[in-house]
Amino acid sequence: MSIVVTGATGQLGRLVIDELLSRVPAESVVAVVRDKAKAADLAERGVELRIADYSRPETLADAFEAGDRVLLISGSEVGQRVPQHSAVIDAAKAAGVAQLAYTGILGGPAADFDLAAEHKETERLILDSGLPYTFLRNGWYTENYTANLAPVLAHGAVVANAGEGRVASASRADYAAAAAAVLTGEGHLGRAYELSGDVAWSLTEYAAEVARQTGEEIVYRSVPAETHLAVLTGAGVPQPFAEILVDVDKAIERGALARGDGDLSRLIGRPTTPISETITEALAQPLA
């Protein structure tokens, strides 16, 4: 039996691999990747590589083996994820894997925003497959904000249409630790975990923390959805994805990403990472 991580060279995938290697021998960890060269460092650490592509179902035939515990990290191509995930599910079922864990979205079937649609359909496909499953319904990553600090500092403002809605975010590393706990532990089959940070914060508070740490004047500008859409497309964000981001902000305003069930901190055995810490880490890196 191996622990198999798909999308293993992505931002989340690499962190999951790191967590797994701190818990189990490297020879029991498998990374499913599209590009072998990008995973050379993982191979050097003793991780087995299996080459496959979500968009090429024929490549997935050898990605899994009977008894494997598999983490399906959701694809990054919004609009293409259902057929991609379906191909992985089919391959996992054909192989007879012992567990298929999936990184979905906070709220699961109850999530009422556009970005959730493909995640909800993927969960349905997994249930219909009859595979032993674990749903990891990840909330918002704090890095979704800190990755965009350069324009915030350049303009002295965080711009969004989220009103005073709150976000119970956690760091990407927190979610990776939860995935590793589920893949290496027992008692997680047939479970759905609602994963979010311990503290929900507003964008006003986020802007204030960035200001405190940088010494710059940073404010939160809550704007109408149409204005935010124009800002995003004007900055080069493709229209379809910009519309999704605006819709997520509407969900934040409704409180859809503020829930705090405590599942994440219980799984990782510690408090989730405060936004102040993730901001500090981001400011220590060169800003794009």
What's the rounded mean pLDDT across residues 156-167?
Answer: 97
Q: Which two tokens stand for residue 110?
A: 């109850």
Give residue 71's pLDDT.
98
Q: Using CA atoms, how far apart are residues 26 and 194, in angstroms rounded to an integer?
A: 29
Pairing of strands 29-33, 48-51: parallel
Residue 2 banded pLDDT, cuts 50, 70, 90: very high
Q: Using CA atoms, how far apart are residues 91 and 225, in angstroms rounded to an integer?
A: 41
pLDDT at residue 51 tops 90: yes
Residue 78 banded pLDDT, cuts 50, 70, 90: confident
Give residue 79's pLDDT.
80
Residue 138 burial (CB count, 10 A): 26
Residue 25 banded pLDDT, cuts 50, 70, 90: very high
Domains and their CATH numbers in the chain: 3-139+172-195 (3.40.50.720)
The pLDDT mean for the chain works out to 96
What's the rounded mean pLDDT across residues 257-281?
Answer: 97
pLDDT at residue 76 tops 90: no
Q: Using CA atoms, how far apart are residues 14 and 10, in angstroms rounded to an integer?
A: 6
Q: Tokens 């990776």 map to which residue?
A: 176
Helix (H, G, I), strand (E, B) or coil at 122: helix
pTM: 0.96
Give residue 1's pLDDT.
82
Smallest CA-to-CA distance from 272 within 281, 285, 263, 282 is with: 263
Give residue 288's pLDDT.
67
Separation in Å, CA 279 to CA 209, 212, 245:
8, 11, 21
